[in-house]
Structure 1
């Protein structure tokens, strides 16, 4: 049975805890974005492989932060934003990192030695989208920043549209240029994970837009 003290504690707003956890989470995701970008900017050498291996640890840390966020959500009656939006935002950030890890794992397992230039452009677009999220998350502490927040969300949506176009061009190029069906499948799987990661950035932006709309 819940004691009076425990009940009262659950009623005390702990907004700062959510802000701190989201800021820690996005910093970790930005590290993941930088690391996958650096990995793709070298031939598949020892440096490249080391960067790819680092992503597993970054993803694990992200999982732990997400778990703490959900635990905080479950133990708080009063939250800074709608509970569903908090859950959606945390899950979307986690999904971005999961897909980055999926890319790293496949590159290592499949021993990918080269990657199409248009695929590298998707990596750059994902990196840009993650950085926009990195700018917007700290602004949630003060919703008077709504104009700046919504502008960043529009840029994230634009990144997702750009990634969609790049993905289509990358797949078309792959079918024309790659004569080995096994290599084609390997590369396409990596491209799909990259494109999904940009989709999840847009999901995070949509959750943020929902927060703004509900608090205007």
Structure 2
């Protein structure tokens, strides 16, 4: 990388880390859907909405920082892409969690606990990686692990959908539950998108 005349604004890394930590909080909150009575699920959805608003604020702060900074730690379009992909993870988690309440799902679908575990691990690995953007070192293990977890999520998703079509006698319930398991699979894909953006930045800046 070339010599920089102006110090880089280190707050970018703080904001990326804050975005990722909110994802850790959100995926942890998901497990409460498994623990509470169905009548209490709205409170879980409300908390996810609060976290989604906080993530939006962090995203807007990042964009404002890009627009007002003379120099950035890496290309502006990469900062935009990373902020947006982190925000997508949160949006999908919040939206799909809300479906559990809106669709008045009775029993939690089989395999959802395992989906939540995978998403929680993806969030943790992502949050651990964000501070390393400062040096762009020791990131390869991050995107390798995210890819492994996404493959695990894909396999689980296929099993869930197959079980739904095999065991669900009610077509309306099938549609509801499939939308939920599909939404959380989309969230896993979004975490992989974050890793792809980080990998692209690391390759470009190395």
Answer yes or no: same fold by TM over 0.5. Answer: yes
What is the root-mean-square deviation in Å for CA atoms of aligned residues?
A: 1.6
Shift of 1:41: 4.0
Residue aligned with 1:88, SS: helix
1:14–1:76 Cα contact (<8 Å) kept: no
Q: Does 1:40 align with 2:11?
A: no
How far apart in 2 are the matches of 1:43 and 1:121?
Answer: 19
Identify unmatched segments of 5+ residues in structure 1.
1-10
1:129–1:201 Cα contact (<8 Å) kept: yes
How far apart in 2 are the matches of 1:156 and 1:26?
Answer: 14
Residue matched to 2:196: 206
Shift of 1:75: 1.7
- Choose the corresponding residue for 1:166, options 156, 181, 186: 156
List aligned pairs for 1:129-208, cutoff 5 A.
129-143=122-136, 146-147=137-138, 149-208=139-198
Identify unmatched segments of 5+ residues in structure 2.
none
1:39–1:49 Cα contact (<8 Å) kept: no
- Choose the corresponding residue for 2:112, options 104, 108, 119: 119
Q: Does 1:62 align with 2:52?
A: no
Residue aligned with 1:179, SS: coil
Residue matched to 1:87: 80
How far apart in 1 are the matches of 2:150 and 2:36?
Answer: 25
Residue matched to 1:53: 46
If the length of structure 2 is used for normalisation, what is the TM-score? 0.92
If the length of structure 1 is used for normalisation, what is the TM-score? 0.88
Residue matched to 2:100: 107
- Structure with higher helix content: 1
1:25–1:62 Cα contact (<8 Å) kept: yes
